[in-house]
A and B are shown apart, each in its own frame.
Chain A
Amino acid sequence: MKDIRQFVALFRTSLGVDICDDKISLALLRRTKNGVEIVKAASGPAPAGAIEDGSVKDPALLAKAIKALKSSCKISKRRAVVSLFARPVLTQIMQLPGNLPGNIGQYVQKEAKHCAVLPCKNIMSGHCGISASKTGSSRVFTVATEIEKVNQLMKALQEAGIIVEAIEPAEIACCRALYEKEIAGNLDSNVLITLIDGADATLIVFRNQAFDFVRKRDIGKDICQSEESRKCLAEEIDTIIHYYAMEIDESARNWRVVTVVRHDGRNTEEISGFLKSRFPDMEIEVVSEAGPKNMSFAAGPDAQGACLIAVGLAVRLLDVPQPKLKINLMPPKSAEVRVVKQDMLIAANIAVAVLFAMLMVVAVLKVSLNKTDKVINEKKKEQSSCETSDLLIERAKLKRQANNLREEIEKLNKLVSSGYTGNWGLVLDEIRRKTPESLWITSIAGSDGSGLAVKGWSTSYEAIHLFVDMLGESKHIESATLVEAEKREGSDNLVSYAVNCTLVAQGGL
């Protein structure tokens, strides 16, 4: 399962949506085996009337513009990380008391409410832990704003068909976009990232690759147009560097300053020149948010001029090196609704799967039923010509007929076998042939059945015995028995005899 997830994560896409006062920017990123690639990017003007005083006034109008921008650059991805577009926003690092509160979230919320930026407003806050202070006390990076403004933003995004995964400040997205190239591996110098959004400047310090300091300042006017604002920014930078030199005692450490100018980023060269002249010992770089070179991500042909903030937002969902700053200002209710929707979607999928499985089972049953019906019809057709009952009647009839015939044959046989059915001529001829010369027959008598009595005279007993033996060997006579033999008294010495023969039974008719 883990392997599958890793495999899926390898090819995951992610969408970042950045909304500011005058512009909407989208960036679609894809994680490939070779790293992250910016697949598509698009920017468009925010519709007039949709945004006012740094907040969403007309969610429907904004939603329409986002939809149009998405469809213009053919981005179908719905899940996205969105920049926190609300004003005022509290962005600060809070030191936690020695005895850590049980619920840090509640503590942060309570503290944020007391902040001058958001006085007694219905606010929502997000926080994440950062490195401890020099004194060792725990610190949290906190972002808070009015909940109503976030809800308005959520409404616009929902209408635009975007499923919001997270809402985070543009500053964090900016750091995330620059992290791999500017911050990661930079151990010998502090990195100061400055995000200029009109008159608002957010200064973030990364020390030893870790988020360490943040300050949000109003520099008066747009830095692109105002010399005063540039001076103001330079002073802020100088203050931070001095603060680190004095408080953290890192005077010897190098500084790298990256300034990102939002909106159209005009006069970056001028601003860069100004800052370089002010801080000649430092590495200074001023870039526009549109298509900077400071990102380590390859940009596809459809992603030229991708918004740095939008890219940073999209990176949040990808498995790439990034600062450990995870703040989500999505309203808890929306998050819950999102979870409910996810659950409902899973349930719906399961229901569809069950329905589909049932339909498949029904289909299989139906096919089997049709096949069985076909077989039954074929068998019925085969049997239609003869019914079993007819066959049984016919069988009984034939049996009766056969029995009657057998009976008749038996009767006839019985009738005929009451007498000898053999050939008398052959029997008599056989007797004549078996008669020795010294013996003669005076009478032959046969009666009903198969008995035959032969009587006569002989000159000797031997001749009589020979005669009996010869008769016994005949194939027509079954047995011959000497019944009587008596010598006649007188001069001729003849012997009278009587032989009973049993004839071979014949087979009747």
Chain B
Amino acid sequence: MLMDRLARSSRTSRVAFSGAIIGIMAIAIYNWAVRPHAQCLQAAQRYEIVIGDKARKNVILRTGEEASKKEVERLKAELAGARTKLFTPAEASRFFSNIESICYDAQCTARSINFLGNVDKMLISLGDRKVIVSNSAAISLAGSYGEIIGFLAKLTGRPQEVLIRSLKIFSSDGEADLLECELMITVYIIHDEETFTNE
């Protein structure tokens, strides 16, 4: 029946009819089968790019993290090294009480030792609930030039830092070889914040 109807129509109509059917079919299949897959693939490819970018960023972040960790470790070591230059309260107490014996060891004569304090003045508050305070002393002693040098060497030759704020060496009136030395020293003491506040 269909054949008879088609046979009655012109060839152009038949070609147009077939073309239209094929066209509609192609569009339908494209919309139902190809397009969703194509869109899905496109989305997946975009997602892949995003994931790739994220992975690259993570690698960069991880590398940065490693470097930061190393830097923190280095800084921690540096800080630990710096903290060794500071006295603990006990060390400071021991140090000040031993100044006279250091003079004696250097064959100098201690004339006077005045402790200037400054203990209650908090200089720095550190992150790990520690504070640094300074403690100073004015020392007057007598000895030869070499003995004074020896005294200074003994005084400063320790892991902790002893700052000589002022130094004056002058000849004693009576004796030619005997020199008078006046110096003021400062040490830095690290305290626990709580202990320091309570004191």
When chains A and B are docked, how far (Å) is the Cα of A407 from the Cα of B168? 35
Tell me, yes or no, whether A294 is within 8 Å of chain B by CB.
Answer: no
Contacts of B166 in A (CB 8 A): 445-448
Tell me, yes or no, whether A380 is within 8 Å of chain B by CB.
Answer: yes
Contacts of B119 in A (CB 8 A): none
Tell me, yes or no, whether B37 is within 8 Å of chain A by CB.
Answer: yes
* Contact for B75 among A344, A355, A406, CB less than 8 A: A406
Minimum CB–CB distance from B1 to chain A (whole Å) comes to 11
Minimum CB–CB distance from A403 to chain B (whole Å) comes to 9
When chains A and B are docked, how far (Å) is the Cα of A368 from the Cα of B39? 12
Additional pairs, 13, CB under 8 Å, beyond known A354-B29, A375-B48: A339-B11, A343-B15, A362-B37, A376-B44, A383-B54, A394-B65, A395-B64, A398-B69, A402-B68, A406-B75, A411-B124, A411-B126, A447-B165
Chain A 414-454 interface mask (CB, 8 Å, partner B; 1/0): 01101111011100110010000000001111111000000
A442 engages B171 (CB within 8 Å): yes
Q: How large is the interface on B (under 10, 10 to 19, 20 to 34, 35 or more residues)?
A: 35 or more
B37 engages A373 (CB within 8 Å): no
B37 engages A412 (CB within 8 Å): no
When chains A and B are docked, how far (Å) is the Cα of A432 from the Cα of B164? 19
Contacts of A354 in B (CB 8 A): 22, 25-26, 29
Interface of chain A: mostly helix, strand, loop or mixed: helix
**What are 23 of the A-B contact pairs (CB < 8 Å)?**
A337-B3, A339-B7, A343-B14, A372-B45, A376-B48, A376-B51, A380-B51, A383-B58, A388-B54, A402-B71, A405-B75, A405-B78, A415-B188, A416-B85, A416-B163, A416-B188, A419-B186, A424-B156, A428-B169, A443-B171, A446-B164, A447-B165, A509-B81
When chains A and B are docked, how far (Å) is the Cα of A351 from the Cα of B26? 8
Tell me, yes or no, whether B108 is within 8 Å of chain A by CB.
Answer: no
Chain A 64-95 interface mask (CB, 8 Å, partner B; 1/0): 00000000000000000000000000000000
* Interface pairs A-B: 3 shortest CB-CB: A347-B18, A405-B75, A398-B68
When chains A and B are docked, how far (Å) is the Cα of A399 from the Cα of B64? 10
- Interface residues in chain A, defined as those with a beta carbon under 8 Å from any beta carbon in chain B: 333, 336-337, 339-341, 343-344, 346-347, 350-351, 354-355, 358-359, 361-362, 365-366, 368-369, 372-373, 375-376, 379-380, 382-383, 386, 388, 391-392, 394-395, 398-399, 401-402, 404-409, 411-413, 415-416, 418-421, 423-425, 428-429, 432, 442-448, 509
Contacts of B79 in A (CB 8 A): 405, 408-409, 412
When chains A and B are docked, how far (Å) is the Cα of A336 from the Cα of B44? 52
A405 engages B48 (CB within 8 Å): no
A425-B61 in contact given A409-B75, A447-B166 (Cβ < 8 Å): no
When chains A and B are docked, how far (Å) is the Cα of A282 from the Cα of B56? 102
* Contact for A425 among B19, B21, B124, B149, CB less than 8 A: B149
A347 engages B164 (CB within 8 Å): no
Contacts of B168 in A (CB 8 A): 443-446
Contacts of A406 in B (CB 8 A): 75
When chains A and B are docked, how far (Å) is the Cα of A442 from the Cα of B78? 42
B149 engages A419 (CB within 8 Å): no
A350 engages B40 (CB within 8 Å): no
* Contact for B41 among A346, A359, A365, A398, CB less than 8 A: A365
When chains A and B are docked, how far (Å) is the Cα of A401 from the Cα of B186? 30
> Which B62-106 residues have C-beta < 8 A from chain A?
62, 64-65, 68-69, 71-72, 75-76, 78-79, 81-83, 85-86
Tell me, yes or no, whether B30 is within 8 Å of chain A by CB.
Answer: yes
A420 engages B163 (CB within 8 Å): yes
A443-B170 in contact given A340-B6, A369-B37, A415-B132 (Cβ < 8 Å): yes
B30 engages A358 (CB within 8 Å): yes
Contacts of A421 in B (CB 8 A): 161, 163
Contacts of A355 in B (CB 8 A): 25, 29
Residue of B nearest to A335 (CB): B7
